Structure 1
Amino acid sequence: MSFHIRVFQGIALSCCTLLGGYAMATPWSDMAKQDLQALHDILSENHPGAVDEENTRFRRWLADGLEAGMRDAEAAASLSDYRTTLLKYTNGFRDNHIFLVPRADMLYRRWPGFTVHQDSEGRFLATLSEVQEVPDGAQITRCDDVMLSVRLDRDLAPVSWNPDVPHRKGRLAPELFFLGMDVEPPASCEVVVDGVVQPVDLAWRPLPREEALEKISLARGANTPPFGVRSVSGVWFVSMPHMGDVPEDFFTDLEASRDRLREASHVVLDMRGNGGGNSQHGARVLSILYGEDAVGAIVGSFDWTVDWRASPGNLAELRKQTFRGEQFFDDMAASIEAGRPFHRTSQPPTATAEPGAASPFSGKVFALTDGACASACLDFMDVALRLPGVTHIGLPTSADAVYIDNRSERLPSGLSVISFGMKVYRNRVRANNEYYTPSLRWPGGLMTDEAVAAWVKELN
């Protein structure tokens, strides 16, 4: 039995397991259509954007995106087609908190032994190459006579890129050479080596999904540090690669190092690789370094007022969160009964951040980000950049929509789960899909500790 047959049998078995006998009788086109309609209905009934007077684009896309998706669904003939159809719809809302969670996926991708990254001039350069004819750094211009820029715009941008965050588009480039097993790959590419253009036939081969994801991350230049407080060539790093399950030892070490950090000539608040988690962890780091009063004054100066989408489905989910209290549930139920689209929870500013306060640090303090900074990492930056003497360096961050506090629903096919926000921030300090641009931009190359330390010591 060939590898390809085993993979597709695995997909079929997964679908059967999830859908019972119905899956075998339902073509991909029909499954895409029913799940698209379900996506539309779930979001219409439960997402705050569907009734948000401040975001008319969201409401237009509910209808326009569904119409376009139904046209795409007509041609769906594989799992990849099904998923692409749904992703185009969800991505079109420009809300990073609307996302699909697959319940059936291929265990393998395929690649030709190399991939690409996009440089500052927009060129697609080979990286991670295991192919002699395609050395690292060689320029790949086109495959099967289609420019790579066209492939990126056609195949990847519609499902993964938010045009409100333009600098994120180039991060998609490595995915061009990691394809689903049911996608027809290009047969050859045009490669430029030392100014000489030559065609190279591609030999695609399977790669475990997790290994493919790791290679994509490496091709993007990811250099995620471990948690820790350490000195590299005289520059101190406070590294926090995520805000999920943060080890308590990290906070203990940070408290023990506080006086030394405050006396250091250069301190880097290192957010490389940090895609978010629990924002309380970031606030705790800043409170240890700057004091609870300083951080509390900044956080207290923010307006945390939110509107919850008033719907029976959302209320049922929120009732599982008993800490909210019966009054909250009663008020939301009353909004639903009265036909009001939202239940508001007002939380206006309670403090005023003191302008011009002195920094407790005698040296320079930098907040370092790469393109991964999102969600709770952005919450961290909201506060850090308002503390005295902190300079943002590195690369522009990602961005967040103002819709948050997610819940999930399974789609009719059983192949996917949709996750979406139930509330909208009304006066968030950072606007919808706003990102942070560093005052001092990383000059390029891999962000290793040594390279960052050498660069930081040259900054004024």
Structure 2
Amino acid sequence: MIALVSRPLRAIACAILLIGTYMPIDGFAEGTANWAALARRDLQFAGDTIASRHAGAVDGQASVTGPLVNGLRAALAETEAVHNEQDYLRVMTRFIAGFGDPHTGIDLHLAPRGWTGILLDQVEARYRVVWSEAGWPNELPPVGAVAVSCDGVYTGTYLQLKVGPFVNRSAEYATTLSSLAQQSMFETGLGWTPAQCVFELADGTSRRFDLPLRRVPEQVSHSRLNALRSIYHTTAKPVGVTQLGPGRYWVGMPTFDGRQASAAYEALYPKLAALKQPAWVVLDLRGNGGGDSTWGTRALGALYGTDYSNQLEEAGGQQEYLIADSVTVDLLKRYIAAPEFANSREDMIEVLAKVHAAIKAGSKMALVSGQADGLTADVIPALVVHRTHGPRLAAIIDRNCFSSCMNVLQQIRATGDAVVLGEPTIGYSPFGEITRIDLPSGRGTLLIPSAVFRTAQATREPFLPDYAFPGKMGDDNALTAWVNRILDGLAAH
């Protein structure tokens, strides 16, 4: 996330992260006996870095300090059992996943290495096959079959024990088991796919199916997996505006990453400003994992005028604090130079000046947005700036609306009469401004937030829809028809 001077945050989050390269250091080559030492060194470095460079740790927030102390102790104790690459990947991934926050990450260059040929999802509290690949060398369970157990363990328990420890989504979130099921049939180097599962078929009989992996990319192409991705990762319609019906418009917002969508957003704003007497504008935020929330705020400005959109930004009463040190200075300089963040450049220059002032004053944290009025995170109010003109808003969210997407959702809700549709998000993260720090081994990169936001939203609190969509979030036709029915019902009242 990125904050503004005297105005609330404009989020820059996961979308800015770049993939590094794998360059192992001397002495830790594949096949050597040094995996335990490598893991121990990288883990200790990760722990020390989080303690000193994570804004939540510096700020003393329990959601960070607890997993840091307890998770590091357990992970270091486990390093003696690290004998190969998979052991190393598992211990590193599990430690970082323990923070339960996608803003705190590790890039170990994991990608699908193998696939079982099927996709699972949680459907009506059961784990069903939602895709079964045709022409697979071994027989696969058909679409609709229920995975009762895997490797002798009930499927839900299997997911929690084998997949859950490596995924930074808390078990309390409504969509977590669905996400775990979707990932469980792909091998990424962590060794979590089952060898066989028992499936209940449509006729009520049960049958065991072996699930040998086929290698990616030798036996399964990456393009094939990308084609299937829409089944388990929903994406909003492309950036643009289409008419749903009289006075109703649908606006696609699949990302706030300026590198991908800056031209499309610049073309969108005049179209929004030119809408004729819109009654409803539906903002489609499915799959929007973040970027620069300025793109969303400017859309609100096109609909209502900048004075009102600025008030919506301020409605949360947020304060943003950045770690005051040279690493943050370097991060801000990179943001200022990045063309995708040109909309926020002037604000970031002011933020940089505040960080320099805090360093000069000897402060650990620099207040760069909001007022130093003594408010703490648990008493900052969530304000409403009632809409007096323009269309009523509906926002469509899903499990992958995160970071700056959540910030824009806060602005939408601040209009006072917006309606939120879709499925719950994962929990809110009060962190941002991601710094990339390479591990000593060169085998990966830590992703550590330098900023903490004090806001009315509680840490890890999910955003819940006012109306939950009963179908699959990726079914555009069904979703569109359902949205129209909801809006019809609201208009009637």
TM range (shorter): 0.7 to 0.9
Pairing 1:120–2:124 present: yes
Q: 1:262 to 1:87 in 2, by over 3 A?
A: farther
Pairing 1:457–2:484 present: yes
Output the amino acid matched with 2:45. A
Contact preservation (8 Å) 1:319, 1:329: no
The DSSP-based 3-state class of the residue aligned with 2:277 is helix
The DSSP-based 3-state class of the residue aligned with 2:132 is coil
Q: 1:432 to 1:198 in 2, by over 3 A?
A: same
Q: 1:262 to 1:84 in 2, by over 3 A?
A: farther
State the Cα distance separating 1:254 from its structure 2 match. 4.5
**Deviates most, 271-280 or 249-258:** 249-258
1:69 maps to what in 2? 75
The DSSP-based 3-state class of the residue aligned with 1:399 is coil
2:104 maps to what in 1? 98
Equivalent of residue 46 in structure 1, options 33, 50, 53? 53
2:354 maps to what in 1? 328
Contact preservation (8 Å) 1:127, 1:137: yes
2:367 maps to what in 1? 344
Contact preservation (8 Å) 1:100, 1:417: yes
The DSSP-based 3-state class of the residue aligned with 1:203 is coil
Q: 1:315 to 1:360 in 2, by over 3 A?
A: closer
2:8 maps to what in 1? none
Pairing 1:145–2:152 present: yes
Pairing 1:370–2:377 present: no
Pairing 1:303–2:317 present: yes
The DSSP-based 3-state class of the residue aligned with 1:267 is strand
Q: 1:325 to 1:127 in 2, by over 3 A?
A: closer
The DSSP-based 3-state class of the residue aligned with 1:457 is helix
After superposition, what is the alpha-carbon deviation per residue over 1:67-118, rounded to whole angstroms, capped at 9, x for unaligned?
110123222233232122112211222332111112x556x52122112011
How far apart are the structure 2 equivalents of 1:212 and 1:165?
A: 32
Equivalent of residue 172 in structure 1, options 177, 180, 184? 180
Output the amino acid matched with 1:268. V
State the Cα distance separating 1:305 from its structure 2 match. 2.5
Pairing 1:220–2:209 present: no
1:204 maps to what in 2? 213
How far apart are the structure 2 equivalents of 1:312 and 1:259?
A: 45
How far apart are the structure 1 equivalents of 2:41 and 2:309?
A: 48
How far apart are the structure 1 equivalents of 2:423 and 2:190?
A: 35
State the Cα distance separating 1:387 from its structure 2 match. 1.6
Higher relative contact order (CA 8 A, sep 6+): 2
1:10 maps to what in 2? none
2:472 maps to what in 1? 445
The DSSP-based 3-state class of the residue aligned with 1:128 is strand
Contact preservation (8 Å) 1:23, 1:413: no
Pairing 1:111–2:115 present: yes
After superposition, what is the alpha-carbon deviation per residue over 1:232-285, rounded to whole angstroms, capped at 9, x for unaligned?
466531111111132434443442354546335x53211122111110000011
1:275 maps to what in 2? 289
1:392 maps to what in 2? 420
How far apart are the structure 2 equivalents of 1:396 and 1:205?
A: 34
Contact preservation (8 Å) 2:236, 2:253: no
2:409 maps to what in 1? 381
State the Cα distance separating 1:44 from its structure 2 match. 1.4
How high is the TM-score relative to the length of structure 1? 0.84
1:154 maps to what in 2? 161
Counting matched residue pairs gives 434
Q: 1:151 to 1:76 in 2, by over 3 A?
A: farther
How far apart are the structure 1 equivalents of 2:192 and 2:180?
A: 19
Q: 1:165 to 1:52 in 2, by over 3 A?
A: farther
Equivalent of residue 129 in structure 1, options 128, 132, 144? 132
Pairing 1:262–2:277 present: yes
After superposition, what is the alpha-carbon deviation per residue over 1:197-240, rounded to whole angstroms, capped at 9, x for unaligned?
11122232113384586367434262532222113466531111
Pairing 1:19–2:25 present: yes
How far apart are the structure 1 equivalents of 2:485 and 2:355?
A: 55
Q: 1:330 to 1:140 in 2, by over 3 A?
A: closer
1:6 maps to what in 2? none
Output the amino acid matched with 1:109. R
Contact preservation (8 Å) 2:315, 2:385: no
2:390 maps to what in 1? 360
2:90 maps to what in 1? 84
How many percent identity over aligned positions? 24
Q: In structure 1, list runs of 5 or more residues that go unmatched.
A: 1-13
How far apart are the structure 2 equivalents of 1:272 and 1:32?
A: 37
Q: 1:435 to 1:64 in 2, by over 3 A?
A: same
Output the amino acid matched with 1:207. V
The DSSP-based 3-state class of the residue aligned with 1:372 is coil
How far apart are the structure 2 equivalents of 1:163 and 1:64?
A: 17
Equivalent of residue 254 in structure 2, options 223, 241, 261? 241
Pairing 1:430–2:457 present: yes
Output the amino acid matched with 1:457. N
How far apart are the structure 2 equivalents of 1:335 and 1:44?
A: 22
Contact preservation (8 Å) 2:403, 2:429: no
How far apart are the structure 1 equivalents of 2:94 and 2:409?
A: 30
After superposition, what is the alpha-carbon deviation per residue over 1:345-385, rounded to whole angstroms, capped at 9, x for unaligned?
352299x9775432422xx6411112111111111101111
How far apart are the structure 2 equivalents of 1:331 and 1:456?
A: 49
1:9 maps to what in 2? none
Equivalent of residue 30 in structure 1, options 37, 48, 53? 37
State the Cα distance separating 1:437 from its structure 2 match. 0.6
Contact preservation (8 Å) 2:89, 2:189: no
